[in-house]
């Protein structure tokens, strides 16, 4: 190999090493998936160079990616809490419940919106949190309750603005093939996950504009990554993600920063109880025509609850990555527009965004492994194999 090549290649390798070390040092202590995001972007840069068949250009693009990431990473400076007021919807359980406790411990004035102000989740918040926390009855699909909650919040703030609105309330529905999900379930997911969030946002935005605060919407990985059996849930979360992106641009002129949280799999109570599963399972069967039931097969439909068990088994019981990311979105001087806490969540977004669709479909099938097939499909396979 000629010295002409070795000298620039060696120099590029040295620069790459230096930039890589600098990037790793700066990534220490970063929120959520910032580290994974940086690795993915840098890896894509190197991969693009290698696809060109050149190690030299692979190193050049990797170095350039490291430099751009290093230069554009958000600062870690957090603003003082100073009893800033935050409103969190869906605080009965799951992320909202844990977040209400977490932000209360950090010194925020927390307004915890709950679906049932007399339920066990609300009572636990009253019992375990400081006197700064207030529980508000807030069904986000009920305009009267939204208006009442706003009045109570304004009264307690006494002229101060609301620093952060965290739209967390959401429903999952029963995982099933999109053809089989009842229209009522599609409408419920949109009513809670999208329209309810929009209505709450519109009601409290004037208070956010006073404080030049934060709007934080909790979406889902399913809102950006197509996941089987989640057509209703994923579609509603995709709508919420797009709404958040547009509001981020529109509200920037007011000094309000908007972030969307897209968690991966975490163990919350959004899937519901066994009694709810029985009810939703019966609802699906009652709303299907006999020919559709015959095509899919009752055994295939009754196996849907295994999807809920699988989701729970692969989900993380540790909610702290989500809590830390939301804290960063609320408190950082320069919050990120998108957060994706959870194992492999950002990698999934990268695959969906940058790779051919066929690659994602192939990887998805490989990860899911062998799955049950609808009755009519099984019959066709048996016939084709016998001929």
Using pLDDT thresholds of 50, 70 and 90, give the confidence band for residue 344. Answer: confident
Q: Which residue has the tokens 């997911």?
A: 189
Tokens found for residue 121: 């989740």
Q: Kindly state the percentage of the chain with pLDDT values over 70.
A: 79
Query: Among positive and negative, which fits the CA dihedral 246, 332, 325, 198?
Result: negative
Using pLDDT thresholds of 50, 70 and 90, give the confidence band for residue 60. Answer: low
**pLDDT score recorded for residue 4:** 39
| Residue 353 reports pLDDT greater than 90 | no
Average pLDDT estimate for 334-344: 91
Using pLDDT thresholds of 50, 70 and 90, give the confidence band for residue 21. Answer: very low
The segment with the largest mean pLDDT, out of 53-57, 255-259, 266-270, 352-356, is: 255-259
* Per-residue pLDDT tens digits for 156-174: 998 888 999 999 999 998 8
Using pLDDT thresholds of 50, 70 and 90, give the confidence band for residue 27. Answer: very low
Find the catalytic residue in 70, 102, 186, 233: 233
Burial label for 190, CB within 10 Å (0-12, 13-18, 19+), is middle
Measured distance CA(67)–CA(69) in Å, rounded: 5
| Residue 36 reports pLDDT greater than 90 | no
Is pLDDT larger for residue 237 or for residue 273? 237
| Residue 30 reports pLDDT greater than 70 | no
| Residue 357 reports pLDDT greater than 50 | yes
**pLDDT score recorded for residue 107:** 96
Helix (H, G, I), strand (E, B) or coil at 347: helix
- Look over the chain and give the mean of its residue pLDDT values, rounded to a whole number: 84
Q: Is the pTM of the predicted complex or chain greater than 0.85?
A: no
Average pLDDT estimate for 244-273: 92
Helix or strand run (H / E) with residue 218: strand 214-218
**pLDDT score recorded for residue 61:** 59
Q: Which region, left, alpha or beta, applies to residue 61 given φ > 0 means left and ψ of -120 to 50 means alpha? A: alpha
Helix or strand run (H / E) with residue 348: helix 345-354
Residue 102 annotated in active site: no
**pLDDT score recorded for residue 108:** 97
**pLDDT score recorded for residue 207:** 96
Q: Quick count: other Cβ atoms within 10 Å of Cβ 158? A: 6
The segment with the largest mean pLDDT, out of 69-83, 235-249, 336-350, is: 235-249
Q: In this structure, what is the dihedral angle of CA atoms 283, 93, 83, 334, given to the nearest 10 degrees?
A: -70
CB 99 within 8 A of CB 129: no
């Amino acid at each position: 190999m000629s010295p002409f090549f070795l000298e620039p290649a060696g120099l590029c390798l040295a620069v790459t090493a230096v930039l890589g070390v600098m990037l790793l040092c700066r990534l220490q202590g970063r929120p959520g998936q910032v580290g994974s995001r940086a690795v993915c972007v840098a890896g894509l840069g190197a991969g693009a160079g290698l696809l060109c068949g050149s190690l030299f250009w692979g190193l050049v693009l990797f170095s350039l990616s490291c430099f751009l990431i290093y230069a554009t990473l958000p600062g870690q400076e957090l603003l003082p809490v100073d009893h800033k007021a935050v409103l969190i919807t869906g605080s009965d359980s799951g992320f909202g419940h844990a977040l209400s406790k977490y932000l209360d411990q950090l010194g925020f004035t927390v307004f915890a919106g709950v679906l049932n102000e007399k339920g066990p989740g609300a009572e636990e918040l009253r019992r375990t949190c400081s006197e700064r926390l207030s529980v508000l009855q807030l069904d986000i699909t009920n305009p009267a309750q939204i208006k009442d909650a706003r009045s109570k919040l304004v009264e307690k703030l006494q002229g101060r603005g609301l620093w952060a609105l965290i739209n967390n309330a959401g429903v999952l529905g029963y995982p099933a093939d999109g053809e089989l999900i009842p229209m009522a379930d599609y409408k419920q997911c949109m009513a809670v996950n999208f329209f309810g969030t929009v209505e709450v946002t519109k009601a409290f935005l004037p208070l956010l504009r006073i404080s030049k605060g934060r709007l934080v919407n909790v979406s889902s990985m399913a809102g950006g990554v197509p996941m089987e059996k989640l057509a209703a849930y994923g579609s509603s979360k995709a709508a919420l993600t797009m709404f958040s992106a547009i509001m981020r641009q529109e509200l920037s002129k007011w000094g309000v920063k908007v972030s969307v949280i897209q968690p991966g799999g975490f163990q919350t109570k959004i899937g519901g109880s066994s009694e709810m599963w029985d009810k939703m399972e019966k609802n699906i069967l009652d709303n299907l025509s006999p020919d559709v039931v015959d095509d899919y097969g009752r055994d295939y439909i009754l196996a849907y609850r295994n999807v809920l068990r699988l989701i729970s088994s692969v989900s993380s019981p540790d909610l702290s990555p989500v809590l830390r990311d939301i804290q960063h979105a609320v408190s950082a001087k320069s919050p990120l527009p998108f957060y994706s806490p959870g194992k492999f969540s950002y990698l999934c977004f990268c695959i969906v965004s940058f790779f051919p669709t066929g690659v994602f479909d192939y990887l998805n099938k490989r990860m899911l492994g062998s799955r049950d097939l609808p009755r009519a499909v099984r019959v066709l396979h048996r016939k084709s194999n016998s001929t």
